[in-house]
Amino acid sequence: MKLKLILLLPFFWCISARAQNGKLLLIGGGAENISSTTSWNYEAFNWAVAQSANKKVAILHYETTTTSDFENYFRNSCGATAVKSFIVNGTGASNAALVNEISEYDVFYFRGGDQWQYYSLWKGKLIEDAIHTKFSNGGVICGTSAGLAILSGTLFTAQNGECYSNGAVKNTNLITITLKNDFLEMMPGFVFDSHFTNRGRMGRLVSFMANWKNKTGEIIVGIGVDEITALAIGSNGSATAYGAGTVNIYRLSENSTFATATVLAVDSLETAQLSHGKTINLNDFEVGGFTNDLVPEETIETFSSKIYISGGDILGTANTDLLTKFAVEGTANDPIIVFTGTETTLAQSYKVKLNELGASNVTVYQATSVNANNSEIATSIQATSKFLFINNSSTVFIPQFFNSTGVAGAALKNAFQSRILTLAFIGDNARFCGQKVLGNYITDQANASISEGLALLKTAVIIPKTFERPASGTVTTYWHGTNSAIPYAMVKQEIKNGIWLNDDNYIIFKGDDGLAKFTVYGTSPVIVLSQHNTKGELVTQTYSGTGTPDKKGAFDFMYLSFLKANQEYVLGEYVPSITGISNNIETSSISIYPNPANKSFFIKADKEIRQVFLYDIIGSKKYAIAINSTEVIIDIEKLNLPKGVYFIKLITYDSQIFTRKIVLN
């Protein structure tokens, strides 16, 4: 059988599979619109029929048939000459007459359901051989939802049930991560996932990639397709996205790899997020169709205070650990102000915990419009250097308290601008730290909003509660918003970094030695998306072709990192805004050229340089040299570094520190 040949010769199968005449249509699930020629699926389904030889469509499932309306759609709207639905159960999978009849069709469309059923009922049967033969002879193989999953070279079988991102990122050896490469293998070297953004599957797809690499040594590429979205892949590897969502591609950067630890950890995955009509060549991963350059306005962090930022409201392990560190900043007698909204129960529980941890002077205030002009609060702010923010409303705290003309709001704003503080933003209020605040990120993703943040981190936007389950409502609605909000804001507002946090982690930000960086804490990785010479746009296609599109961003290239406990991440350069606290304020000038650089680059300063350091994007030192000159040349070829974004730190003989960004090509 052909299957045996595949198992004996996996390497040659990998080569030949990419050279086959077959085509694939990967559909992320969700309802098809069969009533409009402007719908999300119209072009994709027409592509599938047009690519086939006889334009005959077989719709396959392991237990149920489809509706006559869906069959008629292929005939009447997609140009199919014949359409028929087939039930191929365990018995039918080996029925020669049934399989021969199916083989007369040149488009195979696998419906959704349970990929374990497909795997367990069809593996090693005549139907599997028929699918291989059809693909080899130029057929078009389509799959939606579970039908998509079974087409990848490495298949998530779901043998042990569903796998969720919140568990997968904390344990890449989770029992529910069941991967196989002995079934259809339409695309060796790839793993596919469906319902991608809607069900928050970014974490689990990358965990699949890490699990497979650590168990087999094989590097695979992840493709995640949103609901009501499709990726059409030609026989030459050229692919086009269709639909109202995005197609997400993840692959390891050169010289990057997954940590062997249980927790998912990887630096700088190369990431693309395609919208309707955008293309990618799956041989060299060249993306086409984007024309709008995204140029972040803010690339330097200036906030001089330390910031604790957590991903969940609950007083669990991560936030207790955060409070333990926060409480001992300075001395136990240092006053702490907890700012909260109209509901104070949660804030009071944090006060009690701080008292238990040794902080003896904790006061809770409501940061409301009524208190914005409260002189007692203003006086307390002026005497305090430690502030914690929890359960404040984004529509009240910033516009009606912090930015008000009242004395309390003015006192807090002045403290941020003129004093060295220790701040903690808990759970939902983590959003406030960023350049923008993402609203409706939980309850109403379709109407997600963007408002002004405190911009304590000017180069970032933050989403907490990434994997949290809602108290009521569907998980799909909840995770849809938390996962899509950051790319949407980064594209729409051209923001450099996006940070996903959750209940099981937190970060501490503190600028140091010219680098704006944070350190990760907790049992779940912090996820960071970062722009680098990116082109992008907002999604414009809708379900029917009319109406308002989902609030989603698409782009050709960004870096995605999963950071485990104690890792550091560099957001960008750091030039403190408050004078007198650091010798890092630049009073001289330097130039670095060319930038981007290919083989080498030059550094020239107007004073003598003592040391030069080169750091990668997460703050790891890659090169250091001691010199005594105003000029230096760095030979990139000898350093053998992968292409990407790096930071150069210079220290002069009068102890000035300079930080600059450089792109190595």
What CATH number has the domain bearing residue 621?
2.60.40.1220
Taking Cα atoms as reference points, which of 32, 35, 56, 54 lies closest to residue 44?
A: 32
Q: 525, 549, 574: which is the final residue of a domain? A: 574
Give the pLDDT of residue 20.
58
Q: Are 338 and 350 in contact (CB under 8 A)?
A: yes
d(C-alpha 246, C-alpha 278), whole Å: 10
Number of helical (H) and strand (E) elements in the chain, helices listed first: 16, 36
pLDDT at 157: 98
CATH of the domain at 334: 3.40.50.880
Residues whose CB falls within 8 Å of the CB of residue 41, separated by 6 or more in sequence, listed in order:
27, 32, 33, 34, 228, 230, 242, 243
- Kindly state whether residue 583 falls inside one of the protein's structural domains: no
Q: What is the pLDDT of residue 458?
A: 96
Assess if residue 1 is contained within a domain: no
Q: 450 and 505: one domain?
A: yes
- Report the half-sphere exposure of 251 (CA within 13 A, side-chain side): 17
Asked if residue 71 belongs to a domain, the reply is yes
Instruction: Choose one of 544, 574, 604: the last residue of a domain.
Output: 574
- Mean pLDDT (whole number) for 545-551: 94
Residue type for position 425: F
pLDDT (mean) for 114-123: 98
Do 352 and 416 belong together in one domain?
yes
Are 185 and 93 contained in the same domain? yes
Co-location of 184 and 316 in the same domain = no
Rounded average pLDDT over 81-99: 98
pLDDT of residue 11: 29
Average pLDDT over residues 536-559: 96
The number of folded domains in the chain is: 3
Q: Can you give the pLDDT at residue 588?
A: 60
pLDDT (0 to 100) of residue 514: 87
In a domain, 328, yes or no: yes
CA 463 to CA 502: how far, in whole Å? 8
Share the mean pLDDT of the chain. Answer: 92
DSSP codes joined into one string, 328-363: TSS-TTS-EEEEE-S--HHHHHHHHHHHHTT---EE
pLDDT of residue 479: 87
Whether residue 628 has pLDDT greater than 50: yes
Q: Is residue 594 reached through a cis peptide bond, with omega within 30 degrees of 0 on the bond before it?
A: yes
Strand pairing report for 190-193 and 238-243: unpaired
Same domain, 96 and 170: yes
> What tens digit of pLDDT does each residue of 582-616 get?
333 344 678 898 988 888 888 988 888 888 888 88
- Residues 278, 312, single domain; the answer is no
Identify any residues that bridge with 648 across adjacent strands, giving them in sequence order. Answer: 614, 660
Instruction: Supply the pLDDT for residue 463.
Output: 97
326 & 433 share domain: yes
Task: Kindly indicate the confidence band of residue 3, based on its pLDDT and cuts at 50, 70 and 90.
Answer: very low
| Co-location of 115 and 244 in the same domain | yes
> What span, in angstroms and rounded, lies between the C-alpha atoms of 134 and 142?
12
Share of the chain above pLDDT 90, in %: 77
Residue 4: band (very low, low, confident or very high) from pLDDT cuts 50, 70, 90: very low
Q: Residues 115-139: what's their mean pLDDT?
A: 97
pLDDT at 258 over 90: yes
Beta bridge partners of 529: 498, 560
What's the whole-model pTM score?
0.88
- What is the pLDDT, as a whole number, of residue 473? 66
The whole-number pLDDT of residue 28 equals 98
173 and 304 co-located in one domain: no
In a domain, 542, yes or no: no
Tell me the C-alpha distance between 92 and 123, whole Å: 12
Whether 6 is covered by a domain: the verdict is no
Same domain, 194 and 318: no
The range of the structural domain enclosing residue 166 comes to 25-288
Lowest average pLDDT, out of 17-21, 29-33, 416-420, 443-447, goes to: 17-21
Residue 293 lies in a domain: no
Q: Are residues 252 and 309 in the same domain?
A: no
pLDDT of residue 39: 97
Looking at residue 10, its pLDDT comes to 33
Q: Tell me how far apart the alpha carbons of residues 533 and 558 are, in angstroms, rounded to a whole number.
A: 8
Q: What is the pLDDT of residues 454-486, one digit of tens each?
A: 999 999 999 999 988 776 666 777 788 999 999
Residue 9: is its pLDDT beyond 70? no
Burial of residue 93, with CB atoms counted within 10 A of its CB: 0-12 exposed, 13-18 middle, 19 or more buried: buried
DSSP string, 436-494: EEEESTTT-GGG-EEEE---SSTTEEEE--TTPPPSSS-HHHHHHHHHHHHHHHHHHHT
Comparing 221-230, 307-316, 467-476, the range with the smallest average pLDDT is: 467-476
Same domain, 313 and 404: yes
- Domain end call among 233, 254, 288: 288
Please measure the distance between the N-terminal and C-terminal CA atoms of the chain and give it in whole angstroms. Answer: 47
Nearest CA to 127 out of 158, 100, 145 is that of 100
User: Is 294 inside a domain boundary?
Assistant: no
552 alpha-carbon distance from chain centroid: 12
Q: What is the pLDDT of residues 365-384, one digit of tens each?
A: 999 999 999 999 999 999 99
What are the backbone dihedrals phi and psi of residue 268, each rounded to the nearest 5 degrees, phi first? 60, 55
| Residue 34, helix vs strand vs coil | coil
Closest CA to 57 of 39, 34, 30, 79: 79
